Amino acid sequence: MRSRYLAFLALLTASLANAAQLPDAPHIATTGNATVTVRPDIALLSFETSHSAGEPQQAKQLVDKAVNTLLAGITQFKVEAGDISASDLSLEQDIRYDANDNPLPEGYIASRNIRVYLKDTSQISDLIDFALQSGITELDNIKMKSSREPGLKAEAQTQAVEHAREQAANLASNLGVKLGEIYSIIPESTKLHGQYRNVERIEVTGSSLRKPQYLQPQIEFSATVELVFLLDSQ
C-alpha cells in the first residue's frame, strides 16, 4: 500500500514542476504563494505640458514658462533636484485636414514630459493642483512605490516558501509518509502590483478645475515558489 501512495504522489505532482528538475525517486512538489500588502510611501507622477502657437518659438516659450514655473515652486513639496526629470523639447507642426484630405497647417505644438518622485504621498493632490496651475497640461499617470521594496519582496518570497513547506507537510501527513530533504527550489516569480486608483490621466480643457478626490492606495508584493521534497524511504 505504501508503494502505491508513493507512486501516486510522484504522478500527482509531476505537473507542478519542470520534469527536468524532478527526481526519479519518490517526491512531493508543492507550490507556495504569498502576498504582502502595504501602503506606499513614494509616488512617481508623470506630467506633460503641451502648448500650441502660430510660430515654433512662441510654442517653445509657453512650454518653457510652464516648466520653469513648476521647477521654481516645487521645492515646497520637499522635492530635490534628483527627484525630478524632464524630457527634451518636442516640436512639431500642427496640421489639420479638410474634407478632401488637404493639409491645413495651423501652427506648431511644443511639449515636454516631466517625472516627479514625491516622497510624501499626502501631498499628491496639492502637487497636482500646483502643477496644473503652473501651466502643466496633463497628468499622464501616478505610480505608487515603497521605499522598502527589496525587503518586502524578500518577505513575500519567505512567506511563499513557508506556504509551500506547510502544504508539503500536510500532504505527507495525510498520506502517512515522511518528508525528506529538499531536492530543488524553483522561484517562479516576484511581482509588484498597485497604482494610485481613480487617476489615470487628467487633461486641462478649461479654466475651471474641480479638485479631485483620491482613494488611499495599496500596493502588493506577491511571490510564487515551488519546492520539491524527497520522501523519506525509512
pLDDT in tens, 33-60: 999 999 999 999 999 999 999 999 999 9
Name the residue type at position 232. D
In a domain, 111, yes or no: yes
> Do 156 and 226 lie in a common domain?
yes
Q: E strand or H helix at 72, and its extent?
A: helix 56-73
User: What pTM did the predictor assign?
Assistant: 0.68
Q: How confident is the model at residue 10 (pLDDT cuts 50, 70, 90)?
A: very low
Q: What is the per-residue pLDDT across 16-35, written as a single tens digit (0 to 9) for each?
A: 445 546 788 888 889 999 99
> Do 61 and 137 lie in a common domain?
yes
Q: Are 167 and 227 in contact (CB under 8 A)?
A: no
Please report the beta strands in 10-160, taking only residues with DSSP state E, as ranges in sequence order: 27-38, 42-53, 84-86, 90-97, 103-118, 138-145
Domain boundary among 129, 145, 161: 145
Query: Rounded CA gap, 78 and 86, in Å?
Result: 18
Supply the CATH number for residue 97's domain. Answer: 3.30.70.2970
Strand 202-203 to 138-145 pairing: antiparallel
> Do 91 and 174 lie in a common domain?
no
Supply the CATH number for residue 182's domain. Answer: 3.30.110
Structural domains of the chain, count: 2
Q: How far is CA 234 from CA 61, 173, 180, in A?
A: 81, 15, 10
In a domain, 214, yes or no: no
In a domain, 67, yes or no: yes
More confident residue, 221 or 24: 221
> Do 31 and 55 lie in a common domain?
no
Query: Rounded CA gap, 4 and 112, in Å?
Result: 68
What pLDDT sits at residue 234?
61
Instruction: Give the side-chain half-sphere CA count within 13 A for 219.
Output: 22
| Count of C-beta atoms within a 10 Å radius of residue 31 | 17
Domain of 109 in residue numbering reads as 42-145
